[in-house]
Amino acid sequence: LDALMRRAGAFAAEWISEHVPGGHAVVLAGPGNNGGDGVAAARILRGMGFRVRAFLVGDRRKMTPDERAMEKKLEEAGGVLEEFRPEDRRQMLWLSLCDCLVDALFGVGLSRPVEGDALLAVRLMQGRSPLKRVVSCDIPSGVHADTGAVLGEAVRADRTVTFTCAKPGLYLGEGASCAGLVTVADIGIPHRLIF
């Protein structure tokens, strides 16, 4: 899973480096494996010369072992996975001025409405702007991967880099209007394990 996460992060970072003018990015990562994809992307973007800050949105105690491994690699590269603090004005200023927001809050397993700090993070990524790009890893957070239903509120991405195969929710219902343009990235999972 570590290698898959690194590949997923690399695909997201590669798209950002090719399509986002300016060099400031923010990764908003949840404590699950989708968050690990985002942390991997943060490390790779740093290596590409981006100024990147990565924020953990959620309980650090719930981080998966693979995301912890990605955090360690980020730290080895000179980065840090900071706590998301909506009350911190400087943090919010950085979020408002960056060129790109990377949505890595929730992956395909989300089945209940987004709440708490995660909802605040989702709201930060809802407004499409010509000055700022929002890129979702796998699926926009808040969208049900199978039905396209919005679970309370959802990120409105300019681009979704989805891994291995396209999820139905990217094309169904409200999910289609949240996904933006969709890129399917093959991260190396054998298709016999999926279909």
Give me the pLDDT at residue 64, please. Answer: 95
Contact 5, 37 (CB under 8 A): yes
Give me the pLDDT at residue 188, please. Answer: 58
Which stretches of the chain drop beneath a pLDDT of 50?
190, 193-195
State pTM to two decimals. Answer: 0.92
Integer Cα distance of 177 and 141 in angstroms: 13
Contact 165, 184 (CB under 8 A): yes
Which tokens go with 54? 């990565």
Integer Cα distance of 21 and 80 in angstroms: 23
Residues 94-103 have pLDDT tens digits of 998 899 999 9
Integer Cα distance of 14 and 19 in angstroms: 9
Give me the pLDDT at residue 3, please. Answer: 80
Give me the pLDDT at residue 1, please. Answer: 58
Please give the C-alpha separations between residue 43 and each of 3, 26, 156, in angstroms, as whole numbers: 14, 11, 24
Beta strand segments in the chain, E = 24-29, 51-56, 81-83, 100-104, 133-137, 159-163, 181-185
